[in-house]
Structure 1
Amino acid sequence: MSAHLRKRSLILSGHDTSVALENEFWQVLEHCAAQKKQPLPALVASIDAARTPSQSLASALRVFALKSLQNQP
């Protein structure tokens, strides 16, 4: 794993999984979770449930973070 990635372990749909993202993406996701008044794992689970099977979870999280920044006023 690259030194600039931060790995987090989560339980999604009853299964352990880990995701490695750049710290900046984790910060955006944490902010989004706080805005929605939900824990980060709940936000990640909702993003996981909405992604297409061909998209990796890391990719889905990055795209979600990017779109959330693009939608800010």
Structure 2
Amino acid sequence: MQKRSITLKGHRTSIALEAEFWAALEDLAVARERSLPSLVYEIDRNRLKQDPAPGLASAIRVFILESSSSSD
């Protein structure tokens, strides 16, 4: 498990993910020509539309899984 701090909307937030998920998230950011904070911000905005809103780390994992299954 790796914990990283990312700035979202001017606020630092810590996210703990397994190394494999960080690598996949970085790959997705590169593929979409986005910065990592920009991609995480998009995931965060979308997760807050859900009721109840999942945790950010969970939302990131689901985003990665959905992205990988849609590219198959």
TM-score with structure 1 setting the length: 0.87
The runs of at least 4 consecutive aligned structure 1 residues that moved more than 4 Å come to none
Which ranges of structure 2 fall in alignment gaps of 5 or more residues? Answer: none
Which ranges of structure 1 fall in alignment gaps of 5 or more residues? Answer: none
For 1:35 and 1:65, the matched residues in 2 are separated by 13
TM-score with structure 2 setting the length: 0.89
Instruction: Report the count of equivalent residues.
Output: 69
Counterpart in the other structure of 2:33: 37
Structure 1 position 20, deviation (Å): 0.3
Q: Secondary structure at the match of 1:7?
A: strand
For 2:22 and 2:43, the matched residues in 1 are separated by 14
Q: Which amino acid aligns with 2:31?
A: Q
Counterpart in the other structure of 1:46: 42
Which is worse superposed, 48-57 or 25-34? 48-57
Which is worse superposed, 48-57 or 26-35? 48-57
1:8-31 deviations in Å (ceiling 9; x for gaps): 101112111000000111111111
